[in-house]
Structure 1
């Protein structure tokens, strides 16, 4: 079952000697992983739990939900097993068939009802595998059932088996899942999404976004040759005597190669052999008999057939690459090493091969390059389209300064925090005087809770978590602008003792003084709220309901 919500008040700012790569939307939990070591933090109690059993076991955590269930895996010499993790239970393996030995859990819905991840599936007859998206449903006992497959296109645009799909996001209501699809070469990335109609439905639809964005449809689509010729094995045609002679010659050759190794002193080293039996297999047929000639001819015919088919195969490969170069527009390709999606599903951000950050509209599939974002990568996107950005560094120490993209421009993350809370800004600057807060991540739709980690010049990691909502001077960068056109209305009674909120049920209401401080906050508002305790003056009322936001200036007199 989901961990019960902690009752302590939110801690405004805390630091830990840990890597923090994800914070739950409600700010109650934080997790991180680095080189087989994982960290789990209850931010209400500031309790840090470290999982370190190297080298026997490697622990990995990728995400933590509002209910305190984290998604990850546990690796041993036997393979990587998908797990969920809670503060009380620790790492718990998710159900897997015996023939699957590798997988990881990557996301959990906010209520813990579903967990999603990826498993590795062996391609029969080869040494290769592909990665398939799967989903676990939680049952009435609070545990998870055997995984079910999410729909997925195994075969790529060029008739090759795709490398697979990785899960990268899930909305708080558990109705949409996002991920990336990678082609067989590992060169082309697509954003993908799954959607269902309700939390009770198990019928998921699958869609590849921007499927043709980097394809030149005026050219012929390349197609990988489907038939791979196999060279005939001469030893299968040999008689017992011929096979014995071949094996003896091969044994002598291998012995000569071993004694000709360059690490052996020159005076003891043998000359390198010039005759390799593997390159002269036809020499071992005994053609002095009719039966030997028949076997030799059968091998020769099969080998000649193979040679012809191999030439055709190579021609097909050359044609494939010729068409590939014309069909794929390289400079437009995505490189989805990281991807963030807003909880309302309106914004998706990732990178291109040119290291630009792009914003994708999942509904229209429109792609826009964000200005001045070269060599940055997205770490979060809020419901209003604000993007948190991190710096790409090639090698440690990973001493990084985060940025924010909003209103068409890139600004320092420190300035974004300061516009919302001077006290929060001071806390960050006291810990990181140079403004290098590291990589900042957030799952909160408004960016109220977030965290990150930085590695200073001393190579030590400092992880931190911040809850803006816990600061008494938090303003959310408000103004009296109407943010969205909707049916919500705000009106003040004639006596200025209450405010009517119409057109919104279970709304989140905040009232800000002109200095930006929040003087009133209540959730689940439907109808009327009392403001008789507020002093007379000018305020800004902010109402959030069903993804809509309205802000209005009022005067209490």
Structure 2
């Protein structure tokens, strides 16, 4: 069902338009995906999804309300310029959103409905790349869990049944891979990017699928040789894991019924003992005591003896394998699900981690170095180039090979860096923008300057309070293939006295792009405390209040405005969007949490 939530100037923002170029800052929102033209953007958090059309200034909200479904956005290039957005519903059903409606992608009847996803879409919407759970998915299974697929739109305008992409049947050590994914797709739909993880799930490397002129797909793994030492030879992994016999399979219906009766009596007696009504704790019934058929008992005994013998041999062979495996592994690994690719299908960038040779040997956990790397798929031999940086995530790569990074990797208060095409050296995103577009740089320095405070540690582990006024923080950046449209988000822990908040911003350097700048907020509005446990106070000249939950349902509305709202009684725990209409005609939207 369509959840069209708000038509508004936009959330609380600061906007600037210069020579047809647009810069906008949104407070309280985390936009982590955008279409190449910047018209569409999404926020996905804890099962809820916000879709924002910046041209029409319309929000669509879908969420995990009472009895509702959870929604997700694809992990690759999930949005095209026409506003088709791929993702999933309830972690099971791959789907795409278009014109305000979610549409299910076709699945085979036998498909396991768990961990299926659609992750990347071509600009024309003709193809969608995704990942399907292998049938009978089981955490305890030794088989492959995830497989790469692609959906293609037919002449009737509908997506047909997915095509499973070719893949390796063994990982670098000769075992069955745990998962193989397809997360991103090139603009012509002929190159798809993903990852392949080894049997243990701990060592992912990169994989690329290509379609030839005859429509046949092939694959190429990238970086696999980095995971193990040169010349390593792995012993054969046992192709059969013994299964322990189940005694119930040897028991008759009568014997099973007797056992179940004994178990029921045991549970009743346990309750009586816990209540102090009997003195002796009851004996736990064992299946062996109820298998009375001598022939079946002997058959079960022999099966157990065979299992013990086979399992001992299995454990011995796996021990030999792991002795070689752990010695051969370099402990290098690519970042999980970090699939960053250029639209033209030429470049694939990712971060690569490996143990720090100069790390503290007494540290609680092994210290690592995390560097950005870039593969050029059009160069002979598909060489990998290690780029400048440490503790990074890769964010975007342009069609010319310019790479955008963010650091630190494990925080949302990140700064952005750029490695220009043909270079290995990183430079600040602010410096890069200053050289590219001075008005945008000036807007950034005015709106992304914070009085940073944080805690660092000296060599002895003592805390040091650090305060840096007017710190420029660019956040986690996404960029279109030409380097003209930018979206970023960051966690601002300093601007508000009582709490932190997410901030997102857009920069569109295309003149007359058609995405109009909304009218800036004229009336100051304060909403506090946030989060709240009960009363929400509102300061400002407000003439109307609307409050929505994340499923789009109106939980409160009033034109008779009060300065306080009893959120606990009208809404309950959760996250809400509070839409405030000011007396001078502006609309402000605040995200509020009720604990």
After TM superposition, the score normalised by the length of structure 2 is 0.67
- Asked whether the 8 Å contact 1:32–1:39 carries over to 2, the reply is yes
1:57 shift after superposition:
1.9
3-state secondary structure, aligned to 1:178? strand
Moved more, 244-253 or 418-427: 244-253
| 2:122 paired with 1:109 | yes
Match of 1:232 in 2: 245
Correspondence list, 1:8-23, <5 A: 12-16=22-26, 17-23=28-34
- Asked whether the 8 Å contact 1:24–1:64 carries over to 2, the reply is yes
Match of 1:324 in 2: 325
Among candidates 42, 59, 84, match of residue 31 of structure 1: 42
- Asked whether the 8 Å contact 1:14–1:46 carries over to 2, the reply is no
User: Unaligned stretches of 5+ in structure 1?
Assistant: 1-8, 287-291, 473-557
| 2:154 paired with 1:146 | no
Among candidates 36, 59, 63, match of residue 71 of structure 2: 59
Correspondence list, 1:58-457, <5 A: 58-62=70-74, 63-75=78-90, 80-86=92-98, 88-100=99-111, 101-102=113-114, 103-123=116-136, 128=141, 130-198=145-213, 202-238=215-251, 246-247=259-260, 249-254=262-267, 276-278=284-286, 282=288, 293-330=294-331, 332-354=332-354, 355-362=370-377, 363=379, 364-371=381-388, 373-392=389-408, 394=410, 398-406=412-420, 407-434=423-450, 435-444=472-481, 446-457=482-493
| Cα deviations by residue, 1:163-202 (Å, 9 ceiling, x for unpaired) | 222223222222211111122311111211111235xx53
- Asked whether the 8 Å contact 1:33–1:39 carries over to 2, the reply is yes
Match of 2:7 in 1: none
| 2:503 paired with 1:467 | no
- CA–CA distance in 2 between the matches of 1:253 and 1:160? 45
| Cα deviations by residue, 1:278-304 (Å, 9 ceiling, x for unpaired) | 4xx555565xxxxx5544433332222
1:68 shift after superposition:
2.5
User: Unaligned stretches of 5+ in structure 2?
Assistant: 1-18, 355-369, 451-471, 494-498, 514-595
- Asked whether the 8 Å contact 1:210–1:365 carries over to 2, the reply is no
1:325 shift after superposition:
1.0
| Change in CA separation of 1:282 and 1:447 when aligned onto 2, cut-off 3 Å | same
Number of equivalences: 441
- CA–CA distance in 2 between the matches of 1:144 and 1:428? 42
| Cα deviations by residue, 1:401-449 (Å, 9 ceiling, x for unpaired) | 22223333222212211111111112223332232232111232x3111
Moved more, 458-467 or 306-315: 458-467
3-state secondary structure, aligned to 1:12? strand
- CA–CA distance in 1 between the matches of 2:341 and 2:296? 64
3-state secondary structure, aligned to 1:19? coil
1:377 shift after superposition:
0.6
- Asked whether the 8 Å contact 1:183–1:189 carries over to 2, the reply is yes
- CA–CA distance in 1 between the matches of 2:327 and 2:219? 28
- Asked whether the 8 Å contact 1:237–1:299 carries over to 2, the reply is yes
| Cα deviations by residue, 1:193-221 (Å, 9 ceiling, x for unpaired) | 111235xx532222222332322353321
3-state secondary structure, aligned to 1:68? coil
| Change in CA separation of 1:243 and 1:130 when aligned onto 2, cut-off 3 Å | closer
1:318 shift after superposition:
1.0
Correspondence list, 1:486-505, <5 A: none
3-state secondary structure, aligned to 2:337? coil
- CA–CA distance in 2 between the matches of 1:294 and 1:135? 54
| Change in CA separation of 1:216 and 1:259 when aligned onto 2, cut-off 3 Å | farther
| Cα deviations by residue, 1:324-346 (Å, 9 ceiling, x for unpaired) | 1123221x332333131233444
- CA–CA distance in 2 between the matches of 1:390 and 1:116? 26
Indicate the structure (1 or 2) with the bigger Cα radius of gyration. Answer: 1
C-alpha RMSD of matched pairs (Å): 3.1
1:106 shift after superposition:
0.6
- Asked whether the 8 Å contact 1:24–1:30 carries over to 2, the reply is yes
After TM superposition, the score normalised by the length of structure 1 is 0.71
- CA–CA distance in 2 between the matches of 1:285 and 1:31? 60
